[in-house]
Amino acid sequence: MSSFFGEINPPQRLLMGPGPINVHPRVLRAMGADMLGQFDPEMTDYMNQTMALYRRVFMTENRWTFLIDGSARAGIEAALTSLIEPGAKVLLIRSGRFGMLLGEIAERLGAEIATIDLEWGQVATLDQIEAALAEHRPAVFAAIHGDTSTTTAQPLEGVGALCRRYGALSYVDATATLGGMPVRTDEWQIDVVSAGLQKCMGGPPGSAPITISDRAAEFIFSRRKVESGIRRDDISDGTRPFIRSNYFDLAMVMDYWSEKRLNHHTEATSMLYAARECARLVLEEGLENRFARHVAAGKAMSEGLRGLGLTLYGQDAYRMSNVTGVYIPEGIDGERVRARMRDEYQIEIGTAFGPLVGKIWRLGAMGYNAEQHKVRLTLAALKAVLESEA
């Protein structure tokens, strides 16, 4: 018996939802490269190259720019676990599914949570953020840059400076925007930014790029766990609560990625190859060119949907360039349309979360799929299905 279930042979679908998206062929080829020992000089050189590449992608000079092994949520959890001490106050913007996720993680960490609660799809102004910082004086401020649940991008210019003025560390989840929209880490003075590969970066889920300011790194290192009660020069005296996770302890992961190469985990080698190639593709294209390509694809999607007589969800001023929300027409079964798009045309579009379930579809055009011909194929298929459903 050669196999029990048979060889994996997935259908060749065009993934035009909110992510994951189709992986660039060069990334798939990179993932097929052979394994290396974790501390082989070739392997550590690839790690160093990856750090250098992602500094440019994140638009930062941060020394501490590397990968967390795991999906984008692993990056979120590593950041929050390492920044939030038990009982610390955390200020969150909650205006969509993923802002709520930040709160759920912070709650598990024992944080005292303060929120800027907005209607789904709205953004917080600088005045609102400053007022909340002044009122609550949080230790950490956290926000989503682009929330795919609402297809809305939160403006971040000036946010990091406000957080520093009020003594808060700042964290931003850029999972859905890195590589497709500007993530100006240094210009915005954001302390920690994490992301993923499976959206605008054009890679598979499973690796979470992250960048950490020196200011945040100093705080994270102050939370090192004292091993076996023996104090070393590079470990704190335990006066701060130590980071409660081992796997997501950024102080330990940073030691692994530093010149010390202190063993923490076995690096996900194939995912490192993928992340490295994703960044190479982004930088070969050029950041500004890539951002412009996503804007053009998003505009084509928005205009095409309006051309079909559909109504877009959200505000044009704050719409993500890579994911577009559109209202499901009255009398149309949204899930039936999605199923027909998938079964008849091999094209996937997204459903929705929370209060938007059954009300909108979410259509993506990002990474390898932020191309005019792929947008046109998607719109043509949607037009055909809607006409036959009417």
Q: Decide: 384 and 343 in contact? Cβ < 8 Å.
A: no
Structure tokens at 134: 């002044």
> Which residues make beta-bridge pairs with 65?
211
Give the whole-angstrom CA distance, residue 291 versus residue 304: 20
> Which residues make beta-bridge pairs with 170?
141
Q: What is the Cα 293 distance to its own chain's centre?
A: 19
Structure tokens at 268: 């996900």
Give the whole-angstrom CA distance, residue 208 versus residue 194: 7
336 belongs to an annotated ligand binding site: no
Task: Find all residues with CB under 8 Å of 180, minimum gap 6, and list them.
Answer: 199, 200, 201, 290, 291, 294, 321, 322, 366, 367, 370
Q: Decide: 97 and 90 in contact? Cβ < 8 Å.
A: no
DSSP category for residue 354: G
Where are the alpha helices (H) located in the chain, listed in sequence order? 25-31, 41-57, 72-83, 97-108, 126-136, 159-165, 185-188, 214-221, 250-257, 269-285, 287-307, 334-345, 372-389
Residue type at 113 in one-letter notation: I
> Which residues make beta-bridge pairs with 364?
323
Give the whole-angstrom CA distance, residue 96 versus residue 119: 8
DSSP string, 176-189: TTTTTS---HHHHT
Other Cβ atoms less than 10 A from the Cβ of 130: the count is 16
DSSP category for residue 317: G
Give the whole-angstrom CA distance, residue 23 versus residue 375: 16
Task: Find all residues with CB under 8 Å of 169, minimum gap 6, and list them.
Answer: 83, 139, 140, 141, 163, 191, 192, 215, 216, 219
Residues annotated within a binding site: 362
Q: Which residues are annotated as a binding site for substrate?
A: 362
